[in-house]
Structure 1
Amino acid sequence: MTTITTRQHWMTVPEGRLFAQSWTPSDNAGSEGSAPIVMLHESLGSVALWRDFPAQLAHATGRRVVAYDRLGFGQSDARQGLPDLDFVAQEAARHFPSVCEQLQLASYVLLGHSVGGGMAVEIAARASSECRAVVTIAAQALVEPHTLAGIREARARFQKAEQLARLAKYHGDKARWVVDAWTETWLSPAFADWSLDNSLPRLTCPLLALHGELDEYGSTAQPARIARLAGGGGLCEILPGARHMPHREMPEQVLSHITQFLKNI
């Protein structure tokens, strides 16, 4: 019977410490045959907010799974000021190489949710053979009115103290920064031209774009664009009835798609 071993890790970057957690299935421990899956969280996310999905993913795929809190999120150290407008590409260039080095990840599969999907694309675009595949869940490829409308509604909800208090369970006194880093960056007119159009064609590995039919932060045109422009070949799967959190709403279907995609990788 497969068991999952969970470990916590701390890494250092020039701006502070990053928290990570790993889930290793017993039948994969010490194996070099399958690249581990590195998970990149959404704009309000953290390791803890993945809940039990990393363990489910490790069990379903037989691969080691790693997730980390970006600087300013979860258990990682706070950061000063709102992110720069090129924060998606910055994560790929500035912090992810340190994560790989300190966790000794010679190769990997990337799985990113929402903006984490954009970061996965940016990382893969800079990588060579070490990135074996990319999976995006509810990712955005560009700024569209559908996305901005959803963010405006969310910004209004987080004006309520009880909503912010729920987020503080995961981010502590960084919760307000987390909300502002998301809403004020995406709603800035200067961010309107952001897209993955220049990065997607540079991918050399296969890509799977999963997206909920009813996603409130991105239309189904988003995953279609991601899959179409992916240089290593892209597959788009729309999940009927799902919204922005399909890995919580229908984990069995999401795990099935990912497992099948990674079967020969």
Structure 2
Amino acid sequence: MKILEEVHQIQYTEYRIHAKKWQTDSGDLSLAPIILMHDSLGSVSLWRDFPAQLAQPTGRVIYAYDRLGFGLSDAHPTSLAYSFVSTEATQCFKAVLDYFSIQDFIILGHSVGGGMSIAIAAIYAECCHALITISAQYTVEELTLAGIREAKLGFQQAGQIERLAKYHPNKAQWVLDAWTETWLAPAFQDWSLAEIIGGVCCPTLVIHGELDEYATTAQPQQIFSGVTGQAELQILEGLHHMPHKEQPDLVVALIADFLEANI
């Protein structure tokens, strides 16, 4: 089965957003596509082989894009607003929907992209056929903050910011600060998805590594309990914050089986 890939540049206000599309040569274009939302240090390229792996068993078109300020998208003009998790739904994400003329979709997000996906599923309740979260945060925990503090110290070591710059050219320091300084800010400590998660009425798959460094298993449980549609919770034994990279075959199989059973 051959994977076809396309690269796109999307106009969002005065900025360019980098996006990519994957599909198999035998995929079913009538099926709702899957849109991927990356994590705090993520980008299209950092999904690596996962989009192609996901396209094969699901037969669906896969889309991913670099949020403004990340990857190959244009630099962000300001610091990240504390409302960024929920406002992404009506900003760059809306531009992606319009550009590709997407009416119905499945949303899948990793880490903070999972939080964004929850907001998107609630805001676009009539269009979102399913929600899939991987290692998503529901609220700010001490484990989350401790992991971010440790990572911030790690990035002070020689060569670490340069490694990040490979994926975020000329924007690496902004990307790092957008993660660490936002989440560690006192004004962000009361953030949660509590006010929006009840609007998620589509089938939901919540995937979380048992040993996640940035969120206890209480977080996926809150997501699982908070959505109003049918939900499935998968706590993956022995896995950490990147289950789709640690055990990609397992995660892809869980997603494909979930979609086949529910969509």
- Please tell me the TM-score bracket, short chain as reference: over 0.9
Q: What is the alpha-carbon root mean square deviation over aligned residues?
A: 1.0
Shift of 1:15: 4.3
SS at match of 2:191: coil
TM-score (norm 2): 0.97
Segments of 4+ moved more than 4 angstroms: none
Within 5 Å, give how 1:175-186 maps onto structure 2: 175-186=172-183
Cα separation, 2, equivalents of 1:40 and 1:9: 16
Structure 2: 5+ residue stretches without partners = none
1:186-212 per-residue CA deviation (whole Å, 9 max, x = no partner) reads 000100111111111111201111000
Give the TM-score of the pair, scaled to structure 1.
0.97
Aligned to 1:71: 68
Pick the aligned partner of 1:242 from 239, 242, 256: 239
Residues 85-100 of structure 1 correspond to what in structure 2 (within 5 A)? 85-100=82-97
Partner of 1:137: 134
Does residue 6 of the first structure (1) align with residue 5 of the second (2)? yes
Distance 2:230 2:173 in 1: 39
Q: What count of residue pairs does the alignment treat as equivalent?
A: 262
List per-residue Cα deviations over 1:59-78 (Å, max 9, x = no partner).
12111100000000000000
- Measured after TM superposition, the shift of residue 135 of structure 1 is 0.3
| Structure 1 alignment gaps of length 5 or more | none
For residue 150 of structure 2, what is the aligned residue in structure 1? 153
What pairs up with 1:1-265 in 2 under 5 angstroms? 2-28=1-27, 31-32=29-30, 34-263=31-260, 264-265=262-263
Cα deviation, residue 235, structure 1: 1.5
Q: Percent of counterpart pairs with the same letter? A: 51
Q: Residues 196-255 of structure 1: CA distance to partner in whole angstroms, max 9, x if unpaired? A: 111111112011110001110101111110010011132110011111111000001101
Amino acid across the alignment from 1:172: P
In 1, Cα distance between equivalents of 2:60 and 2:230: 23
Question: In the aligned structure 1, how far is the partner of 2:181 from the partner of 2:78?
Answer: 12
Paired residues of 1:227 and 1:233 also in contact (CA < 8 A): no
State the AA in 2 paired with 1:22. Answer: K
Distance in 2 of aligned mates of 1:27 and 1:149? 46
Helix, strand or coil: the match of 2:7?
strand
What per-residue deviation string (whole Å, max 9, x for no partner) do you get for residues 151-180 of structure 1? 000011111231111111100110010000
Distance 2:229 2:203 in 1: 5
Contact 1:15/1:79 (CA < 8 Å) preserved in 2?
no
Distance 2:57 2:160 in 1: 33
